[in-house]
Amino acid sequence: MLLHEKLKGYQLILASQSPRREMLMKQLGLQFDIIPLSIDESYPKELLLEQVPEYLAKKKAEPFVKNIQDKQIVVTSDTVVILYNELLGKPKNKKEAKKLLHKLSGQTHEVISGVCITTKHGQVSKSVSSKVSFKPLSDEEIDYYIEKFEPLDKAGAYGVQEWIGYVAIERIDGSYSNIVGLPTATIYEMLKEVAG
């Protein structure tokens, strides 16, 4: 039985403000409601960097845990970019975006998404990792991207699905949708399990 058939009778909720996560969920052929969610994205300093996205995905689910109804399923997710044991978050301004893109230029970095699925009967969570190799970027290319696109709402200051992804990415190891912001194959399997 296909997932959308298994989910009949359930209310699927995507708790996210990300238009990219919404688009990816739609491409799975699923009906869902969106609840925009904004949380404090701090995490314990002793946490390993690769554990941060799963920790934050669970943290995003906390507001739903108490009041979740029997036939509701809540999906939360967080994505981080890691380069040489440094977590590259969302840039606060264009100057910071430029600095981040200079760091990524000519390097291979890791993109990790944490996914959490919450129901009245419990919670399952997973992390998915992809590696992305950038060619060296010129100042002109970085400036063009920052001016023409929207790097400020993206971890690592770039969107793989935008111009920079087409001209700068030499190699991807792992899930492409994970780099966009939601590992769809993993979500699909997790939801199949939960809808059992």
- The domain locations on the chain are 3-195
Residue type, 15: A
The pLDDT value given to residue 121: 93
Q: How far is CA 59 from the centre of its chain?
A: 14
φ and ψ of 138, to 5 deg:
-85, 165
Residue 83 forms beta bridges with which residues? 86
The pLDDT value given to residue 16: 95
Element at 109 (helix H, strand E): strand 108-119
- The CATH number of 3-195 is 3.90.950.10
Those residues with Cβ within 8 angstroms of residue 196's Cβ, 6 or more apart along the chain or in another chain? 6
- Asked whether 99 and 147 are in contact (CB, 8 A), the reply is no
The pLDDT value given to residue 26: 96
- Region 51-62 average pLDDT: 97
- Cα–Cα distance measured from residue 18 to residue 12, given in angstroms and rounded to the nearest whole number: 16
pLDDT 10s digits, 146-185: 999 989 989 999 999 999 999 999 999 999 999 999 999 9
- Asked whether 99 and 92 are in contact (CB, 8 A), the reply is no
CA contacts within 13 A on the Cβ side of 36: 3
Q: Which residues are catalytic?
A: 78
Dihedral (CA of 103, 56, 72, 2) sign = positive
Task: Let me know the angle formed at the C-alpha of 29 by 118 and 38, rounded to the nearest 5 degrees.
Answer: 40
- Region 128-137 average pLDDT: 98
Residue type, 186: T
